[in-house]
Amino acid sequence: MKIGYTHRKTGQVREIDSPYDNDKSAYDALLDKISKSDKVSNFERRVAEAYANFSAGRWSYLSDAKRYWLHSLTMEEESAPRHDRGIRMPLEGIKRMLSKAGEHVKSPSIRLNAEGIELKVSIAGARSRYTGDVMVASPKFGDGWYGRIAQDGKFYPGRDSTPAVRAALSRLAESPEEVAAEFGKITGRCCFCNRSLTDDRSVSVGYGPVCAERFGLSWGAN
């Protein structure tokens, strides 16, 4: 059975020949995989939860992307976003910012633009197979997986990664104040807490003073 979807932002088409005759069989196989694994990714759990909500009538619709991953996550060649070839990039500054903010907030994240694509950068939690790595994904579930910055210092590109994504990450690591200011001035939101900027000075700077302190950045100089 052919299962596929088109990424609505990049236009990339992904398609597989599913070994399952229906969504319920794929769901059962995914649950079996989850029950037998020592390390289950949040991505796998969320896909399973999405189908459970749909089948129970809590959701009226299961997107093509979620259906694709429901079928493909138990197939070894498509399993969990996973990449073997890392790229050495100077991205240590991103992990430092997130770690510092983690002293004050439970799940710190940073949003940034990569030529019109919005990214969300955060540290994987204890339940992830990539615990401690910096994950780069779309803010909306299922819309994009761009890669991860592993603890060995390498960037492992995700299925939707582009040169623009890598360039955006490099800029964030090298010039965080500048990147944060650009995001805030373009979107009207703070890239750290994702709240609307309302204070005149925060609007002018591009991010707020509380987030600046939490992430270890200067504020107000520009």
What is the four-CA torsion angle of 74, 88, 104, 49, rounded to 10 degrees? -10
Instruction: Kindly tell me if the per-residue pLDDT of 214 is higher than 50.
Output: yes
Give a yes or no: residue 37 inside a domain: yes
Residue 199: its pLDDT value, please?
92
Reported as a pLDDT band with limits 50, 70 and 90, residue 202 is very high
Q: Strands 13-17, 2-6: parallel, antiparallel or unpaired by DSSP?
A: antiparallel
3-state helix, strand, coil in the chain (%, to 5): 40, 20, 45
Domain housing 27: 2-72
Instruction: Kindly tell me if the per-residue pLDDT of 220 is higher than 80.
Output: no
- Pair 37, 15 in one domain: yes
- Are residues 43 and 135 in contact, defined by beta-carbon separation less than 8 angstroms? no
Give a yes or no: residue 78 inside a domain: no
- Pair 44, 7 in one domain: yes
Q: Strands 117-123, 109-114: parallel, antiparallel or unpaired by DSSP?
A: antiparallel
61-97 per-position pLDDT tens digit: 899 988 988 988 877 434 444 445 688 888 999 999 9
- Are residues 20 and 30 in contact, defined by beta-carbon separation less than 8 angstroms? no
- Pair 108, 127 in one domain: yes
Question: Last residue of a domain, which of 40, 72, 104?
Answer: 72
- Which among 93, 71, 94 is positioned nearest to 17, based on CA atoms? 71
Give a yes or no: residue 208 inside a domain: yes
Give a yes or no: residue 29 inside a domain: yes
- Which among 118, 154, 159, 112 is positioned nearest to 133, based on CA atoms? 154
Percent of the chain whose pLDDT exceeds 70: 91
Give CA–CA dist 30/75, Å, rounded: 10
Tell me how far the alpha carbon of residue 95 is from its chain's centroid: 14
Instruction: Kindly tell me if the per-residue pLDDT of 121 is higher than 60.
Output: yes
Instruction: Kindly tell me if the per-residue pLDDT of 39 is higher than 80.
Output: no
Give a yes or no: residue 169 inside a domain: no
- Pair 65, 11 in one domain: yes
DSSP string over 157-193: E-TT--HHHHHHHHHHHH-HHHHHHHHHHHHSB-TTT
Question: Last residue of a domain, which of 20, 40, 72?
Answer: 72
Name the pTM for this structure. Answer: 0.66
- What distance, in Å, lies between the first and last C-alpha atoms of the chain? 57
Instruction: Kindly tell me if the per-residue pLDDT of 105 is higher than 50.
Output: yes
Instruction: Kindly tell me if the per-residue pLDDT of 211 is higher than 90.
Output: yes
Give CA–CA dist 185/157, Å, rounded: 28
Reported as a pLDDT band with limits 50, 70 and 90, residue 9 is low
Mean pLDDT for all residues in the chain: 87
160-177 per-position pLDDT tens digit: 888 899 999 999 999 999
Give a yes or no: residue 42 inside a domain: yes
Q: How far from 32 is each of 29, 108, 202, CA to CA, in Å? A: 5, 32, 49
Instruction: Kindly tell me if the per-residue pLDDT of 159 is higher than 90.
Output: no
Residue 221: its pLDDT value, please?
57
Q: Total domain count for the chain? A: 3
